Amino acid sequence: MEIYDYTGQPVIHGRARVNGIRMHYVHAGQGPESLLLLHGTPKTSYYWYKLFPLLTRHFHVIAPDLRGFGDTDKPPTTDGYDSATNTQDVSELMTLLNIDKFHVHGEDRGADFAYALAATCRDRVKSLSFCEMAVSGFGLEETSYWTEENVTAQYRQKGIWCWHLGFFSIPHIPEMLIQGHEREFWEMFMKQECYNPNAIEHAALDHWVACSMLPGGLRGILETYRAGFKNAAHHRALLEAGGKLTV
């Protein structure tokens, strides 16, 4: 699956040795400032394929496959999928690319990592934005509670029930139920929350499903959720130590 910049040229693919893993990333654009994009679940750097032609006119855009996703390594361990580790991953990537200061945007699970990066590297991150997720430790957990208000929120258009947070966090059972049904599950998972389900193109969905079926692919995705409580504690500690972000 290829991504193109604003000139119609394919983006540049790279692999970097960072924080003990090999990370796949793409980048393009000759803008005066750099923008780091961090994808969510179960996506990859290809999630940004429609935005690269728009953003690369103004920014040098970098989009990695996060640890456990796509063509980046998926360490066979239950540790290392938390936001502190992912922060180190992408911070080292930007250093290897000789990028000192940059903007960062996180989508879904990438929001946790974007916040942690901005709170850890306050002298490097020029601005922070995120979407499609509250940050762990600051309200995300409450959206997963089994309450009448949460369960009916989506249908009342008053919010959303993040039922998957608890499900993905359970050891072993999600793998048992999802394996063999990856296409059905991930299509339902992504489209049920879309205002326009047709916005998700079949080719993109096929790519993400295929990546989740790679060795370690599904487990890598789920381990980022199993680190949820660790992320929450880390984020609250970052706030206590450094105060609110000023970006």
**Phi, psi at 217, each rounded to 5°:** -65, -50
Cα separation, 54 vs 16, in Å, equals: 25
Q: Per-residue confidence of the chain (247 residues) as pLDDT tens digits?
A: 899 999 999 999 999 999 999 999 999 998 999 999 999 999 999 999 999 999 999 999 999 999 999 999 999 988 999 999 999 999 999 999 999 999 999 999 999 999 999 999 999 999 999 999 999 999 999 999 999 998 888 778 777 889 999 999 999 999 999 999 999 999 999 998 788 999 999 999 999 999 999 999 999 999 999 999 999 999 999 999 999 999 8
Tokens of 48: 């940004």
Cα(227)–Cα(79) distance, integer angstroms? 8
Instruction: Specify the pLDDT at position 159.
Output: 76
pLDDT of residue 156: 81
By the 8 A CB rule, do 234 and 84 touch?
A: yes
Q: What is the pLDDT at residue 126?
A: 98
Residue type, 16: A
pLDDT at 6: 98
Q: Which fold has domain 12-242?
A: Rossmann fold (3.40.50)
Strand partners, 18: 21
Handedness of CA 66, 70, 72, 76 (dihedral sign): positive
Q: For the chain, which residues make up each domain, given as ranges? A: 12-242
* CA–CA dist 59, 94 (Å, integer): 14
What is the sign, positive or negative, of the torsion defined by CA atoms of 43, 200, 202, 173? positive
Query: Cα–Cα distance between 108 and 101 in angstroms, integer?
Result: 23
| 151 contacts: CB under 8 Å, gap ≥ 6 | 161
Give the C-alpha separation, 235 to 113, whole Å. 10
Predicted pLDDT at 160: 80
**What pLDDT is stored for residue 192 in this prediction?**
85
Q: Are 36 and 103 in contact (CB under 8 A)?
A: yes
Q: What is the pLDDT of residue 221?
A: 97
Alpha-carbon distance of 205 to 107, in angstroms, equals 17
* Nearest Cα to Cα of residue 77 among 229, 233, 231, 219: 219
- Predicted pLDDT at 51: 98
Tokens matching residue 43: 């996506």
